[in-house]
A and B are shown apart, each in its own frame.
Chain A
Amino acid sequence: EPEVTQTPSHQVTQMGQEVILRCVPISNHLYFYWYRQILGQKVEFLVSFYNNEISEKSEIFDDQFSVERPDGSNFTLKIRSTKLEDSAMYFCASSDRSSNQPQHFGDGTRLSIL
């Protein structure tokens, strides 16, 4: 069964450093998403991406965050200057059609900011 893959599985970074989280969505999917889950809390939406542009973003997704689909297969999330509170699991998801379809999640990147 096709799956969403994410790298790295765990990233440890000093506060203030830039970090890039990578995702390869399922190949025929058109809609891409990033979510995060702080330890012990619920999964929160960050951003959705379709047709090479952001469709929607949450309040969390401020100017420190950006997304890119550089080459038609990868989908990246960049955090420009990390803060302690950015420590969380980051999940990438994709779906093949729009809002009525379930999204399929990658197994996540655990980001630890020191």
Chain B
Amino acid sequence: RKEVEQDPGPFNVPEGATVAFNCTYSNSASQSFFWYRQDCRKEPKLLMSVYSSGNEDGRFTAQLNRASQYISLLIRDSKLSDSATYLCVVTGTGTASKLTFGTGTRLQVTL
């Protein structure tokens, strides 16, 4: 089983649509969870941290279910500028803990 698993997509949605991405992780000891965004051939950029209580940042809502080892990201009112690859990322334990990345889910928002 992959450490972090995501549907690679692509998800093609019209502007204004709501789209949801899911991710599962295999290590139950994982400590922290993030969604990063990556544009083509660019660096990963932090989109948001993910908490068990769920958290929202504008049009973006993230949710963590530790029991199911499942993370989600919901994007409302999609914009053309949301087109990117969304990376599900988890950390382990310990000092200077590495990030483990999923392969990413590609989103294409169209007119």
Contacts and interface: CB of A to CB of B under 8 A. Distances in A.
A and B: interacting chains: yes
Interface of A: 31, 33, 35, 41-45, 48-50, 55-56, 58, 89, 91, 93, 98-108, 110
Contact of A33 (B32, B46, B98, B102): B98
B44 A43 contact: yes
Nearest to B46: A102
Contacts of B31: 99-100
B95 A99 contact: yes
B43 A44 contact: no
Contacts of A44: 101
A99 B102 contact: no
Q: Determine the main DSSP class of A at the interface with B.
A: strand
Interface of B: 31-32, 34, 38, 41-46, 49, 87, 91-104
A107 B96 contact: no
B32 A45 contact: no
B97 A99 contact: yes
B103 A42 contact: yes
A56 B98 contact: yes
6 contacts: A31-B96, A56-B94, A56-B97, A56-B98, A99-B91, A99-B96
Given A42-B102, A42-B104, A98 B43 contact: no
Contacts of B94: 55-56, 98-99
Given A42-B104, A100-B32, A50 B95 contact: yes
B43 A49 contact: no
Contacts of A49: 96
Contact of B98 (A42, A45, A100, A101): A45
B101 A42 contact: yes
A5 to B, nearest CB: 11
A15 B69 CA distance: 42
